[in-house]
Amino acid sequence: MALNLGREVAYSQSTGQKEQLSRSVQRGIRRVQDLCKVLQLPTVFEETAVSYFQRAVQHPAFHLVSLEKKELLGGCCIFVTCRQHNWPLTMGTICSLLYAKQELFAGVFLSLQKELGLSVPALSLADLVSTHLNSAGSAVSGDEPISDSEIEQYLRGPEEIRAFSKAKGWP
Contact 160, 91 (CB under 8 A): yes
Instruction: Reply yes or no on whether the pLDDT at 167 is more than 60.
Output: yes
User: For the whole prediction, is pTM greater than 0.85?
Assistant: no
Give residue 122's pLDDT: 72
CATH of 16-168, one of 1.10.472.10, 3.30.565.10, 3.20.20.70, 3.10.129.10: 1.10.472.10
Q: Who wins on pLDDT, 40 or 23?
A: 40
On the question of pLDDT at 161 being above 80, the answer is no
52-77 mean pLDDT: 90
Q: Does the pLDDT value for residue 149 go beyond 90? A: no
Q: Render 13-72 in DSSP notation, one character per residue.
A: HHHTHHHHHHHHHHHHHHHHHHHHHHTT--HHHHHHHHHHHHHHHHSGGGTTS-HHHHHH
